[in-house]
Amino acid sequence: MKSNPAFFLIASFCTVLKVSGAVIGTNVPATPLTAERVATLPAWKNYLENSVRQRQADQNFLRAEMKEHGVKQNTEPPKTGNAKGIDLNNPAAWYGGAEARRIADNLVSFQTPAGGWCKNTDFTKHRRAADEMFGALSGSLFLSTNDFDRPQDERWSYVGTFDNDATTTELRFLAKAAATGTNNTSLCAAFLHGLDYVFAAQFPNGGWPQVWPLQGGYHDAITFNDDAMLHVIEFLRDVSAGQNEFVFVPPELRAKADASWKRGVNCILAAQIVVDGRRTVWGQQHDAFTLQPASARNYEMPSQSSGESGTIVLFLMQLPEPNSKEVAAVHAAAAWFEKTKIEGKAFRVVGSESRKLVDAPGSGPIWARYYEVGTDRPIFGDRDLTIHDDVNEISRERRQGYGWYRDTPKRVLEHYAKWAKAHPPEKI
């Protein structure tokens, strides 16, 4: 039989792909919330207009302050990688002391006119000065051409945000300090202003963006990443209960918080990804308008996300009286976790090769951070927008600098075993 050169070329190419892993796609940017998308929807149009007005008001405030004090260039406040110094675990009496009051006054001074806070800023050092920005700069250190993480304005980014526990952490601290005694009028006012910020940031469908006023890009998406939206829901749930540090919150605002967090839960249920008529889990972020999974940074693709989905399910299993939709969501997600678990593998440093996925008999289960919707195969992104089906084929920098595997669903399945007995699935 005569050989076919084209056949061997194709066969050789396929063999290379099988051995080395394939580039299976290119990531595309998330769609921001725009006037064109919401033009015919009054509630969404009003939401977007409020966001635009508030962003302008925040910027005008800072410009006016600079002019009043003769400041030509803003300085950057101290930077940190987390909510450094904002400790929510001290004894209740500590929040009535001098150190807690000093930090609380600092927080009030850094609160944006909208009522939120920036991220990655150490608010414990000092009160905000007239020449300081509201928060430390939070831009990526690896920006490239057409980078999804490039802000519209590099000096006005994440002002304010729910990312990295921002805003909800500051509000919880203020509540603890405000509830300790007298002469706390300014702290109570700042807390209530922040509560209004949380209400204003909520989308008409019940979700929350990562940044508000809206910043554009993936920041406009409903953000489950790092449990941002979940932290907002838990905060509002605690406010609505009116206990402990939240006793000073007026009844009408507690009722508003109660309705708000429950709308948030309904949004979570509506966003659960459905494949071939079956519910699965959730993405890191979902389009605010369509609720479809959306991308974020260059290496974060629209997908099913194991880590964020795990914490969502843990939250749903904590609900004291879950309704039928909540119960069905948990059962569906648990089934997906069981289906997609990875046994006998570990993601760890291998010699000088940085971290790699390797055989590890007896290890696991673990889950890939991202799974392709429809196939449930693990997928991995890189800074050049390429999407891969093998984590060992992405760049060394991304293998080293990102958590590509999670074990959160393991805790979910452990809790689920007991929870399912008390909440059996409904028979159809």
Give the residue numbers annotated as catalytic, written as ranges: 164, 297
Residues 6 or more apart from 359 whose CB is under 8 A from it? 344, 345
d(CA 307, CA 217): 23
CB 230 within 8 A of CB 316: no
d(CA 314, CA 203): 24
d(CA 421, CA 423): 6
Sign of the Cα torsion 68, 74, 79, 83 reads: positive
Of the candidates 380, 189, 224, 355, the one whose C-alpha atom is nearest the C-alpha of residue 300 is 380
Proportion of the chain in helix, strand, coil states, percent, rounded to 5: 45, 10, 45
Task: Dig out the tokens for 271 from the structure.
Answer: 């966003």
CB 135 within 8 A of CB 158: yes
Kindly report the length of the chain. 428
Helix, strand or coil for residue 137?
coil
